[in-house]
Copies of this chain bind each other. A is one copy, B any other.
Amino acid sequence: MPNNTVTLNCPATVANMVCGFDILGMALNDPFDKITISLSGEPGIRINHTDEYHLPTEPSKNVAGVALLEMMQSIPEPVGFDMTITKNIKPGSGLGSSAASAAGAVVAANELLGKRFNDADLVRFAMAGEKLASGVKHADNIAPCIMGGITLIRSIFPLDIVRLQAPPLFVTVVHPQIEVKTADARQILRKEVLLKNAIRQWGNIAGLVAGLLQGDYDLIGRSLEDVIIEPVRSILIPGFDQVKQQSREAGALGGGISGSGPSIFMLSRDKATASQIAGLMENIYERLGIDYKTYITTLRTQPLAG
């Protein structure tokens, strides 16, 4: 075995990417959690948090723990892990906090075990953590967290993940400090949608994929439209419409709700625009009197394990 201790920076991720509900996600270079795992002679999992979030440390109640437990079911010999997690991605931010913990734990553990599992295995293990966090096994944060870049979940059962090439993208994120539970955000969605809206949505997702693969920023921008989820969910996020409109006016390609919110992300083709957008986001939430945090970052292209 190559190492006795592995430390990974586990990136935040933006699921859905406006028109790709439940199928698209992208990794960011900032913020990120830090996970350190060591092999231990004592079987089982011990979790230590060095952050302010008071997350459970009992493995079966911790997303990283649950993901590791899932992985250990595929390991015939007894193993033990000591894990230290420092979270910078706030739980409930819509930035893939639970995915960073779950993915980070299994990827780091896999490094310790000599990389015996492939990416698809690791995504499957980590999805057990997502199930604990949100009640649903989804991979649209897990996959980009593990593989980097932008990933398409073409199908979840059976799992079919496609890594999509993309041109350089600057990303501005604002996290208004309000609570939107993923489970609640999912519950308010209608179970049926108008066929004509679905057609519009699949035109946009097709346009977004083509724009990413062809490096066509204008097409990316035109395709960043969501006529199904955003109109319902954005009501839960004060300031959403202003952020979106002013960001577009400032030159953003487009953007929308990150995951199930409340964070909002905007894509730009240059850093100056991304910075300007952070400024206007800050102004909006200052005026609304809501605490916030902003990030000016980029699409992270490298995978979680080097």
Show the binding face of A for B, using Cβ within 8 Å. Answer: 19-24, 152-155, 160, 162, 164-165, 189-196, 198-210, 213-214, 219, 222-223, 228
Contact check, B193 vs A195: say whether CB atoms are below 8 A apart: yes
A159–B207 Cα gap in the complex (Å)? 13
Give me 11 A-to-B residue pairs in the complex whose CB atoms sit less than 8 angstroms apart, sorted by A's number: A20-B206, A21-B202, A22-B199, A154-B203, A154-B204, A162-B210, A165-B214, A191-B194, A192-B195, A205-B205, A210-B213
Interface centre among A198, A200, A201, by most B CB within 10 Å? A198
A196–B213 Cα gap in the complex (Å)? 26
> How near does chain B come to A23, taking the closest CB pair, in angstroms?
5
Contact of A193 among B162, B193, B214 (CB under 8 A): B193
Contact check, B189 vs A192: say whether CB atoms are below 8 A apart: no
> How near does chain B come to A187, taking the closest CB pair, in angstroms?
12
Contact check, B207 vs A210: say whether CB atoms are below 8 A apart: no
Asked whether A24 and B206 contact (CB < 8 A) given A213-B213, A223-B154, the answer is yes
> How near does chain B come to A206, taking the closest CB pair, in angstroms?
5
Contact of A202 among B194, B195, B205, B222 (CB under 8 A): B205
A21–B202 Cα gap in the complex (Å)? 9
Asked whether A189 and B195 contact (CB < 8 A) given A202-B23, A205-B206, A206-B24, the answer is yes
Q: Which residues of chain B come closer than 8 Å to A195, judged between CB atoms? A: 189-193, 228
Top 7 A-B residue pairs of the complex, sorted by shortest distance between their CB atoms: A154-B207, A198-B198, A192-B192, A213-B213, A209-B209, A23-B203, A202-B202
Asked whether A203 and B164 contact (CB < 8 A) given A194-B192, A213-B214, the answer is no
A206–B160 Cα gap in the complex (Å)? 12
Sample of 4 further A-B pairs with CB below 8 A, known A191-B194, A198-B202: A20-B202, A153-B203, A198-B201, A206-B208
Residue of B nearest to A197 (CB): B198
> How near does chain B come to A103, taking the closest CB pair, in angstroms?
20
Q: Which residues of chain B come closer than 8 Å to A203, judged between CB atoms? A: 22-23, 152-155
Interface centre among A160, A209, A223, A228, by most B CB within 10 Å? A209
Contact check, B210 vs A23: say whether CB atoms are below 8 A apart: no
Q: Which residues of chain B come closer than 8 Å to A213, judged between CB atoms? A: 209-210, 213-214
Residue of B nearest to A157 (CB): B200
Contact of A192 among B19, B24, B152, B193 (CB under 8 A): B193
A20–B198 Cα gap in the complex (Å)? 11
Q: Which residues of chain B come closer than 8 Å to A153, judged between CB atoms? A: 203
